[in-house]
């Protein structure tokens, strides 16, 4: 039949052709379209996307993590059009990319709304894992897998579970998810419900879950509470393991609940009677009792008087004589010691103890045994710029001041004659028990030469023995006394020519006149010159006159002869 005689298309045929034309115009590269499975060949499905265009999709794209779609001929599926026609005249289509595009739209909505999404962990990569979010692949960092570090993620793989989207980048195709955030939110919801059912003062059972240096964490049935070491017992607890063990069931009292942070503070000692009640009556000040040393610090030692009651021996109350010594050198841990109650403060829960008070004050004992004026003997322990320290009995020291070393010589000069380790005798001058001071004197053993010198007056003539001849004068001692003094060169003679120290020799006796004697100031001054001047005046008065015609030599000669005859 010729074309001219062919029947014209009906209205229905024209409508079908027009619909096919519209359908063809809707297909464009980079879009998602619906297609029909027209055949299944081995491992691919042939899909007709319209406009007499077909494409092939591998069957594996219909299966994957958390999905297993069975494809049959005649099924309609959505596919992604990459190219409308390739070299073989077929369209390049993808089921995975279609699903990914569909998933991205859903995920973006969930991300904006802060909603959770479902996914499956299906592979491990560097730094974390990959998650299939129904076609879109997301990255799960290792730190976001769980609340606590997980060593083996195998049990979590291939299991559908909720995730929270942390970050999305459509342009780069990056999605970062977190499983930890979901767990924390769920845990927070559970904790809120549990905390709502608890109240302060409630007594419940719990299981010790973990032990640290500062306490123990107790599981109260889905929520943990902290049992601090100070709330475990009224007594001192050095480490929580002394009271509780992991896995142990304990009865605790809820001390405090923080509803904002969901932190719960627990206590065991609050279930027991407070041993500090009525403490002042049980431990009166001044009472002497025994206790066990539980802990030693730089500033003292703690002593347990009874379970839950401890007192502190401050380092200053440990020894009468051992100062600036670490407490560990005086007592040791677990040692039983006798102490005295010094102070009790029930409000601050403090008891001050004394160890040295159980022994007699060594300064009191010394004062009783060695009253002022008695003589003691000891070793030179130390030399200072102001005196000597002498070691005495019971580890106490006495001090000899520079001014108490010698009656006549300066202490700065005399102290050089002593050295550490020398045994010396001294007289007790004073004992101050409160200030813990003992004053000693060495010069007092020989007596005060000024006190024993008798009545020496100014103007008196005394006989001296030359002790030493020096360039500036002579050192002399007044005969029949222990008084020594120095006669200066200018006082050795009336005439300047005779004021020569070498005129005298050690051991020689000379007369001199007392020009100053101050017993209080402990000072005596002698002068030979003053004696000669006085004798000259006396001779002139007795043996000469203005009109006698006698010379000075004659007068002095007569006076000297009269003095010699008198002697």
Residue 281, SS3 per DSSP: helix
Strand order in the sheet with 523-527: 484-488, 473-478, 461-470, 509-518, 523-527
Residue 168, SS3 per DSSP: strand
Residue 408, SS3 per DSSP: coil
Per-residue pLDDT at 10: 58
Question: Which residue, among 372, 404, 409, has the nearest Cα to 388 in the 3D structure?
Answer: 404
| pLDDT by 10-residue block (mean), the chain, 567 residues | 46 54 54 73 74 71 61 72 65 66 81 90 91 86 88 88 90 88 81 79 91 91 87 87 92 87 88 87 92 93 91 93 89 93 92 92 91 92 91 91 84 89 92 92 80 76 90 88 86 88 90 86 86 84 55 54 54
Pairing of strands 263-267, 300-306: unpaired
What domains can you pick out in the chain, each with its CATH number? 11-99 (2.40.50.140), 114-184 (2.40.50.140), 198-271 (2.40.50.140), 284-358 (2.40.50.140), 368-446 (2.40.50.140), 449-543 (2.40.50.140)
Tokens found for residue 18: 């027009």
Beta strands in 42-142 (DSSP E): 44-50, 53-58, 63-64, 67-68, 76-83, 92-94, 116-125, 128-133, 136-141
pTM, entire model: 0.48
Q: DSSP label at 263?
A: E
Half-sphere exposure of residue 391: CA atoms within 13 angstroms, side-chain side: 11
Contact 558, 539 (CB under 8 A): yes
Residues 77, 80, 83, 86, CA torsion sign: negative
Strand order in the sheet with 53-58: 53-58, 44-50, 32-41, 76-83, 92-94
d(Cα 197, Cα 258) in Å, to the nearest integer?
Answer: 13
Q: Residue 199: how many CB atoms within 10 A of its CB?
A: 9
Per-residue pLDDT at 398: 93
Per-residue pLDDT at 151: 83
- DSSP assignment of 288-314 equals EEEEEEEEEETTEEEEEEETTEEEEEE
17-25 contacts: CB < 8 A, separation 24 or more? 20/50, 20/51, 23/50, 23/51, 24/50, 24/51, 24/53
Per-residue pLDDT at 20: 52
What is the chain's length? 567
Contact 421, 456 (CB under 8 A): no
Question: Which residue, among 422, 419, 388, 381, has the nearest Cα to 405 in the 3D structure?
Answer: 388
Across 405-438, b (16+ Cβ under 10 Å) vs e yields bbbeeebeebbeebeeeeebebbbbebeeeeeeb
Position of tokens 């065991």? 268
d(Cα 445, Cα 432) in Å, to the nearest integer?
Answer: 21
Q: What is the 3-state secondary structure (H, E, C) of 192-211?
A: HHHHHCCCCCCEEEEEEEEE
Per-residue pLDDT at 377: 92
Tokens found for residue 90: 């077929």
Tell me the CA end-to-end span of the chain in Å, nearest whole number: 198
Tokens found for residue 94: 């993808």
Contact 312, 355 (CB under 8 A): no
Q: Residue 117: how many CB atoms within 10 A of its CB?
A: 22
Question: Which residue, among 90, 78, 82, 87, has the nearest Cα to 41 in the 3D structure?
Answer: 90
Question: Which residue, among 233, 214, 389, has the nearest Cα to 307 in the 3D structure?
Answer: 233
């Amino acid at each position: 039949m010729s074309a001219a005689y062919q029947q014209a298309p009906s209205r229905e045929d024209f409508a079908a052709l027009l619909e096919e034309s519209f359908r063809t115009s809707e297909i464009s590269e980079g879009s998602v379209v619906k297609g029909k499975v027209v055949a299944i060949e081995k491992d691919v499905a042939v899909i007709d996307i319209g406009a007499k265009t077909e494409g092939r999709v591998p069957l594996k794209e219909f299966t994957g993590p958390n999905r297993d779609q069975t494809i049959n001929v005649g099924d309609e599926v959505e596919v992604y059009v990459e190219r409308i026609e390739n070299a073989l005249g077929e369209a390049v289509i993808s089921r995975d990319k279609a699903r990914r595009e569909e998933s991205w739209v859903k995920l973006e909505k969930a991300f904006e709304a802060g909603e959770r999404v479902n996914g499956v962990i299906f592979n491990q990569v560097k730094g974390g894992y990959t998650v299939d979010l129904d076609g879109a692949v997301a990255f799960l960092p290792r730190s976001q897998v769980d609340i606590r570090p997980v060593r083996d993620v195998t049990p979590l793989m291939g299991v559908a579970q909720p995730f929270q989207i942390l970050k999305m980048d459509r342009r780069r195709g990056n999605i970062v998810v977190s499983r930890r955030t979901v767990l924390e939110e769920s845990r927070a919801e559970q904790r809120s419900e549990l905390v709502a059912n608890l109240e302060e003062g409630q007594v419940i059972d719990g299981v010790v879950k973990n032990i640290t240096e500062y306490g123990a964490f107790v599981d109260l049935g889905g929520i943990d509470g902290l049992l601090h070491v100070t709330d475990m017992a009224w007594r001192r607890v050095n480490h929580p393991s002394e009271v509780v063990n992991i896995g142990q069931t304990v009865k605790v009292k809820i001390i405090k609940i923080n509803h904002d942070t969901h932190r719960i503070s627990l206590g065991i000692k609050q279930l027991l009677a407070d041993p500090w009640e009525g403490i002042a009556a049980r431990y009166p000040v001044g009472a002497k009792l025994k206790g066990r040393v539980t802990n030693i610090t730089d500033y003292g030692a703690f002593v347990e008087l009874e379970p839950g009651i401890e007192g502190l021996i401050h380092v200053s109350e440990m020894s009468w004589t051992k100062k600036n010594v670490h407490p560990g050198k005086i007592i040791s841990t677990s040692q039983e010691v006798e102490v005295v109650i010094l102070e009790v403060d029930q409000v601050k829960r403090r008891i001050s103890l004394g160890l040295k008070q159980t022994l007699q004050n060594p300064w009191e004992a010394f004062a009783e045994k060695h009253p002022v004026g008695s003589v003691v003997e000891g070793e030179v322990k130390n030399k200072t710029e102001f005196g000597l320290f002498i070691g005495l009995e019971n580890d106490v020291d006495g001090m000899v001041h520079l001014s108490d070393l010698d009656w006549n010589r300066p202490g700065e000069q005399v102290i050089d004659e002593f050295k550490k380790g020398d045994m010396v005798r001294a007289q007790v001058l004073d004992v101050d028990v409160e200030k813990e001071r003992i004053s000693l004197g060495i010069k007092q053993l020989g007596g005060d030469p000024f006190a024993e010198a008798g009545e020496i007056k100014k103007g008196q003539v005394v006989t001296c023995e030359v002790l030493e001849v020096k360039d500036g004068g002579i050192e002399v001692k007044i005969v029949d006394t222990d008084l020594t003094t120095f006669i200066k060169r200018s006082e050795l003679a009336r005439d300047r020519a005779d004021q020569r120290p070498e005129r005298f020799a050690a051991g020689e006796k000379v007369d001199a006149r007392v020009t100053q004697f101050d017993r209080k100031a402990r000072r005596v001054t002698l002068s030979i010159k003053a004696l000669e001047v006085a004798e000259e005046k006396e001779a002139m008065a007795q043996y000469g006159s203005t009109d006698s015609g006698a010379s000075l030599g004659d007068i002095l000669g007569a006076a000297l002869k009269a003095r010699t005859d008198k002697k």
